[in-house]
Structure 1
Amino acid sequence: MSRRFTPKVITANDLREGDVIYLTADDRWSRNHSEAELIDDEAHAEIRLIHATRQSSDIVGAYLADAKSGPHGPEPVHFREAFRARGPSNYAHGKQAERHG
């Protein structure tokens, strides 16, 4: 019996700035997890990951991360990905500064 595929998003880090980024359905890289393409087919996920890893002049460390559908787009499933989506752990810069500024 085959295992059920868990939906995924493709995440990486911006090569120049180091920010966590997500591949969108229209082939952009976004800093917002909710804009990521939610992929629910394993073969399509692998094809999209190959596409992402070929962008080595812009990104580093692309991988598939488990996600689920949410009211505003994909949401992280695991703590690690939720932490990465929130940004740095201090408020002086990055995504968290934008929320608290």
Structure 2
Amino acid sequence: MKILTANRLVDGEAVWLAADNSWVENIQLAERASDAETEARLDAAGKAALANNEVVDVNLIDVALVDGAIRPNRLREQIRANGPTTHLQFGKAARFGANAA
């Protein structure tokens, strides 16, 4: 399974593409692609957002569902999902829960 991630250009925040084509800060709201057709649609949406200067560093990433929650396979993406590696009262960990990814 894959989801589309990027960094929002205006503030550098890690974001994920939701089913309504909006960029969301909570990875759990990301649209999941389980087939090549959906992956291609997500990829096209990411390229369009990049061309419109909305986001940068657009990538489809591999994820798994762990107890019903989206969890990125790579450590880098897990860190991006939880925010900076600081105290849990800061960043995404504070907004969406320490185990958001």
Q: Under a length normalisation based on structure 1, what TM-score does the superposition of the two structures give?
A: 0.78
Question: 2:32 is paired with a residue of what secondary structure?
Answer: coil
Q: Is residue 42 from structure 1 mapped to residue 12 from structure 2 by the alignment?
A: no
Q: 1:13 offset after TM fit, Å?
A: 0.1
Q: Is residue 90 from structure 1 mapped to residue 74 from structure 2 by the alignment?
A: no
Q: 1:34 offset after TM fit, Å?
A: 0.6
Quote the Cα distance in structure 1 between the aligned partners of 2:47 and 2:86: 29
- Higher-Rg member (1/2): 1
Quote the Cα distance in structure 2 between the aligned partners of 1:20 and 1:86: 10
Q: Under a length normalisation based on structure 2, what TM-score does the superposition of the two structures give?
A: 0.78
Quote the Cα distance in structure 2 between the aligned partners of 1:20 and 1:48: 16
State, as a whole percentage, how many aligned pairs show the same letter. 29
Paired residues for 1:1-101 under 5 Å: 7-56=1-50, 57-91=53-87, 94-96=91-93, 98=95
Single out whichever of 8-17 and 36-45 deviates more from structure 2.
36-45
Q: Which amino acid aligns with 1:39?
A: A
CA deviations over 1:56-100 (Å, ceiling 9, x no partner) = 221111110001224454221221111110111234853245469
The answer to whether the 8 A contact 1:14-1:20 is kept is: yes
Q: How many positions carry a matched residue from both structures?
A: 94
